[in-house]
Amino acid sequence: MKQIIRHPFLTTIVLLAVAVLLSVAIGPVFIPPATAARLLLAKLPGTSIAPSWPETYEAILLQIRLPHTALMALTGAALAGSGAAYQGLFRNPLADPYLIGVASGAGLGAVLALAIRWPGTLLGLYTVPASAFLGAAVTIAIVYSLARVGRAVPTTTLILAGVAFSSFATSLTSFLMLRSNTELRRALAWLLGGAIMNGWQPVWAMLPYVALGLGVLSLSGHALNVLQFGEEQAQQLGMPIERLKFWLVLAASLTTAAAVAFSGIIGFVGLIVPHVVRLTWGPDYRRLIPLSALGGGCALLLADLLARVVMAPQTLPVGIVTALAGAPFFLWVLRRSKTQAYW
């Protein structure tokens, strides 16, 4: 165990691969993981594995389970990666990806889209996720410009402006929902992670944002390390902090916005996974962010699996499972840790 843990990237990648296999294997029709792995390998160019499985397997795997798995893994990676970045940016262990209003902005966007009764798709995009994404992006832009004091954006003002604007957006959402018919309840259920979109389209729509966002965040590890000493010391060590904060907020928020737009608001993953990684492999953000992303993908896949299995054929909202199973797991890790100052 100890030996394995010494290789953090190997460990998380193996865990993620196992979670992916379990996620594609388990469902109403059980596909043995070995068969699933062979089937997936056969689809890669340059391999020649003779098909020895029922044809239905291929359809289930490639058109239903794999896109769902990819969506969940991307969402988990987006939330945990940007959660780790936010915790570092705000130097606050309670920070999560929704801290400065991404979730409430997305909620308002989604409800607005349904309240205005736009068509379900517009220019080939699903209107609700597109509008949710736009809502989140606009919220971040407003919050960031509200928090500006002179040429600087102090993190305290950023958090306060974010929290205040979030409340505003949330009340507006509630008001819209009260005023209108049951149609809007669907929007809320969807946002809370109740109904997850199917097929490959949401995966392809989300991928560029998450890849770009997590890429920027992963490359900013050193800057976040310097920032842990406070903004003043970071500047004295040669770090241009205002530019750094702008890019970090932009990357983390767009990543989260893309995740929320397609998978709804899933709590706890973005808060807890970075802490588990930090407890296991230390505070160095150069590793912390990519490891959190890998771990977040793995954690959300496992939570989603539980959500699909415990009350099958009914599926629980995955957000319930992340907190219900995640909290005890985190407390167990916290209790086992031997160091007092891991933050």
Partner 1 sequence: MLEIKSLSVAYYEAEVLREVSLSIKSGEMLALVGPNGAGKSTLVRAVSGVIPVKSGQVRMNGVELHHLGTMQRARYLAVVPQARELPGAYTVYQTVLLGRTPYLGWLGNPGQKDHAFVRLALERTHTTQLAERRVSDLSGGEQQRVLLARALAQDAPILLLDEPTTHLDLQHQSNLLNLVSQLCQDRSLTVLMVLHDLNLAGLYADRVALMDLGRILAVGSPEEVLTADNLSSVYHVPVNVIPHPDYGTPLVLPDGHTFEISQPTF
Chain residues that interact with partner 1, rule: CB under 8 A: 91, 150-151, 219-223, 225-226, 228-233, 235-241, 278, 282-284, 286, 339-343
Alpha-carbon dihedral 149, 153, 157, 159, rounded to 10 degrees: 160
Nearest approach in angstroms of CB 32 to partner 1 is: 42
* Angstrom distances, CA of residue 15 to CA of 185, 275, 295: 36, 17, 8
Rounded least distance, CB 239 to partner 1, Å? 6
To partner 1, the closest distance from the beta carbon of 278 in angstroms equals 8
Smallest distance, partner 1 to C-beta of residue 197, A: 36
The least CB distance from residue 290 to partner 1, in Å, is: 12
Structure tokens at 59: 């359809």
Complex with partner 1: residue 75 or 220, whichever CB lies closer: 220
> Which residue lies nearer to partner 1 by CB, 56 or 233?
233
With a CB cutoff of 8 Å and minimum separation 6, the contacts of 50 are none
On the 0-12 / 13-18 / 19+ scale of CB atoms within 10 A, 254 is buried
Q: Confirm if 323 and 267 have CB atoms less than 8 A apart.
A: yes
Number of other residues whose CB lies within 10 A of the CB of residue 300: 34
283 phi and psi, to 5 degrees?
Answer: -90, 0
> Do residues 138 and 222 make contact, with C-beta atoms less than 8 angstroms apart?
no
Considering the complex, state which of residue 55 and residue 232 has its C-beta at the smaller distance from partner 1. 232
Q: Which is nearer to partner 1, 201 or 337 (CB)?
A: 337
Picking from 254, 162, 243, the residue whose alpha carbon sits closest to that of residue 214 is 254
Q: Which is nearer to partner 1, 117 or 336 (CB)?
A: 336
Closest approach of partner 1 to the CB of residue 220, in Å? 8
Q: Which residues are paired to 285 by β-bridges?
A: none
Give the span between the Cα atoms of 11 and 276, in whole angstroms.
Answer: 13
- Least separation in angstroms between residue 286's CB and partner 1 is 7
Q: Which is nearer to partner 1, 84 or 203 (CB)?
A: 84
State the alpha helices, DSSP H only, in the chain. Answer: 2-5, 8-25, 33-43, 55-59, 66-90, 102-115, 127-146, 155-179, 183-191, 201-219, 221-227, 231-236, 241-263, 269-281, 285-309, 318-336
User: Of 38 and 286, which has the nearer Cβ to partner 1?
Assistant: 286
